[in-house]
Chain A
């Protein structure tokens, strides 16, 4: 009796199984075996981030302000243009221009790569029922995981730095785009698909002449969500060096200020990030509404 009691009350030592060592071994194994792959991805991401940053850095701040004014004005109204220009200008005035570019680089690079990956994935998902079932589980799981969880795989294979940061942003931001591309394509009315088929369209013609144009609105909404996800991930990503070792992006400044309890600095950096989020959101909203007017 006492044996039984001991067994069921206190967790028996015999049954303790140490997963840590095994996981460590698995990570080592995966890291070594596919070293060339991780290396290649890492190089690609770093180059991509470099080019994006070089481009952003090359554009003078005044051009930024003017372009945003015109974009806001053409897409929505002159008031919108003014708002975007003032917010951009304010970031410079706060002394955060270069720090902002470091964060923007990762957001922008993350969104672009997400679109490059997410569109084809969404399309394939809409074409294959099997893949759809698998992807659905994966996407659902990804959506329930806390944002922190995305740092782990990134760190595992890419180590601390910009590549890992970008990977974390991409994994976090990708699901809505895949999902909305898939939804956009599968929500097209049967009759419209049949009309396309009845005139003898090939699968490629169906995709490029009917499905993608019809899904454009949904895809635009997906890009918007993806961008917002990337923005919301940037602070966490900065923790693992997304903005580059030794560089001070706004996101990292914010993180450090919060941890170091420097309230004033945290408020200013926080505002800069919020301004960035507003500017990106308004811009993409403007584009999306343009599509709305074109469609039904």
Chain B
């Protein structure tokens, strides 16, 4: 299960303990990070961050080098200890963990993918991938099995016995990703995982991540300094500058309401239609009926919400079709099952707006958005898309 992450007034400061104490006093002042450094000698790398990451969200932090991205992400497995503030993962307070709890948390609930891969060069591919399980004390047979699954998932089967120095950069990072998935973490931390790779491979890796993300239920925090990557991947994005967050929002919100000129400049080179994904502008359906629901309640809900029709899914939220208001009014049956109009005009949530547009313009009405497993995730509003594209 994915977990939400609550960041409450988190700051990270580097320096001697004396410098840090002096800088801590100034965190709430009007001084900039540079001025605080001049005054105290301490580096304020993260300053008063306060926001939440929703469960199952792919959250991206973007910003220039030195803006504090790594310093922040490393607080989420306490590789960096914040000087003040609290972090909640699910309903547990990470910042209050003792050594033992921290180890358990790191073993079971979180894992990290590193910019320079950080593979163990004395181990083979599978030796690396099974490392997290070895630390947990999982038996050898089970370990191998789980590790092989992860290796297949990232498309490296056949390479498991190779040593890591025999792999290309892209393959190394696949190993890094597989290793981070074996302990089945609720929170996956990725610190510029693709920055060391060349652009073509990077694109592949991004697609792979989106595909994997789609299939599993997991909160992901992804860091990059590349705005295109940020918009390609992120459900929501936070732009960091000088240890602070300048703006947080969906890709669409960044284009619609950039907070200031800095943000405007940052997104100036981004081609919106190639970057904006359906998921970032889809809306939550007001009401969704389940197969087996009674006609009466459904009719009432549809009327209440002033809808002309409503989508129907099965128990597991798999999209089945829709029922129209008139059908419900006319029906004499008990359940809505016989009324469902099966419909296969759906839009995949990771599709880019440019691709979705052709389907949408053909249908000329709102379309259901599904994930890789066919589960209903949202609704794509025709007018919203027209607006978004027109704004270009």
Contact = CB atoms under 8 A, between A and B. Distances in A.
Among A192, A195, A214, A294, residue most surrounded by chain B Cβ atoms (within 10 Å): A195
A198 B79 contact: yes
A207 to B, nearest CB: 13
Interface string A276-296: 000000000000000000111
A199 B183 contact: yes
B131 A209 contact: yes
Interface in B115-164: 115-123, 131-132, 134-136, 163-164
A194 interface: yes
A197 B79 contact: yes
B134 A198 contact: no
Nearest to B133: A199
A228 to B, nearest CB: 26
Interface string A186-213: 0001011011111111100100011001
A165 B141 CA distance: 51
B112 A195 contact: yes
B121 A295 contact: yes
A216 interface: yes
Contacts of B134: 209
Interface string B251-288: 00000000000000000000000000000000000000
Please classify how large the interface on chain B is, using the bins under 10, 10 to 19, 20 to 34, 35 or more: 20 to 34
Interface in B42-92: 77, 79
Given A191-B114, A194-B114, A199 B121 contact: no
A199 B111 contact: yes
B365 interface: no
B116 A198 contact: no
B81 to A, nearest CB: 12
Nearest to A197: B79
Contacts of B120: 192, 195-196, 210, 213-214
A17 B147 CA distance: 73
B166 to A, nearest CB: 10
B40 interface: no
B341 interface: no
Interface in B268-316: none
B135 A200 contact: yes
B121 A214 contact: yes
Contacts of A213: 120, 122-123
Contacts of B357: none
B103 A192 contact: no
Given A194-B79, A295-B121, A295-B122, A200 B104 contact: yes
Nearest to B123: A213
A296 B165 CA distance: 6
Closest 8 CB pairs of A and B: A200-B106, A200-B107, A195-B118, A191-B118, A213-B122, A199-B132, A200-B103, A198-B112
Given A191-B116, A198-B79, A214-B121, 5 more contacts: A192-B120, A199-B111, A201-B135, A209-B134, A209-B135
25 contacts: A189-B116, A191-B118, A192-B121, A194-B79, A194-B118, A197-B79, A197-B106, A198-B77, A198-B79, A198-B106, A198-B111, A198-B112, A199-B107, A199-B111, A199-B132, A199-B135, A199-B183, A200-B104, A200-B132, A213-B120, A213-B122, A213-B123, A214-B121, A216-B122, A295-B165
